[in-house]
Copies of this chain bind each other. A is one copy, B any other.
Amino acid sequence: MGRPSKAAERTEQILDAVGRCIVRYGMDGWTLERVAKEADLSRSLVRHFVGNRDELSALFRERILTRYGDMLGADDGGRPPTEVVLEKLFSPSANLDDYAAIDAILASARYQDGLREEARDIYLRLEAAIARAMAHDNPGWGAQRVQGRAHRLLLLAFGHWSMTSLGFPADRTEHVLTAARELLGLPQNTPSHEEPCG
């Protein structure tokens, strides 16, 4: 009985708008009013469906975590996991907005005590997924070595996206990709005059 609920649909609509606003205004700059405008709803409606700002923020982080926390570990047919990782971390076709949002969360975690554990969790899950893929495709590598490489790959990827979003020329991308393939133990595509591990 009663009117049918639009909660699920509206919540999705709102959370998508939050993502876009975070990318556009940063983790501190997004507001309920901007989200409402972006979602084409009134602020009252936003509040009605997702509660106050803190609750909405938590909801968004939770969603992006479940959506992308295990992303890197997802099975992709019979392809080598490391190739999948490389593509998902560096391919421009990847969901840019989600990466930017994760980046914003990590950045703001630096000065928001409550977020720090959450950010650490995100990071560790990503690193673990990468490490799994590496260990699978390079059975000879020890755990120590795999973790170190996974860590460095993640630093490389995050730094790369940060710089890319700042509008740097793309000519540095190739060096980064070469290094990434090397870290993952993948063969280089184009024989470069630069030695692989440099």
Contact = CB atoms under 8 A, between A and B. Distances in A.
Interface of A: 23-26, 28-29, 100, 103-104, 106-112, 116, 119-120, 123, 144-145, 147-149, 151-152, 154-156, 158-160, 162-163, 165-168, 172, 174-176, 178-179, 182-183, 194, 197-198
Given A28-B28, A149-B198, A106 B155 contact: no
A145 B110 contact: no
Contacts of A148: 172, 174-175, 178, 194, 198
How many copies of the shown chain assemble into the complex?
2
Contacts of A123: 163, 166, 168
A116 B163 CA distance: 10
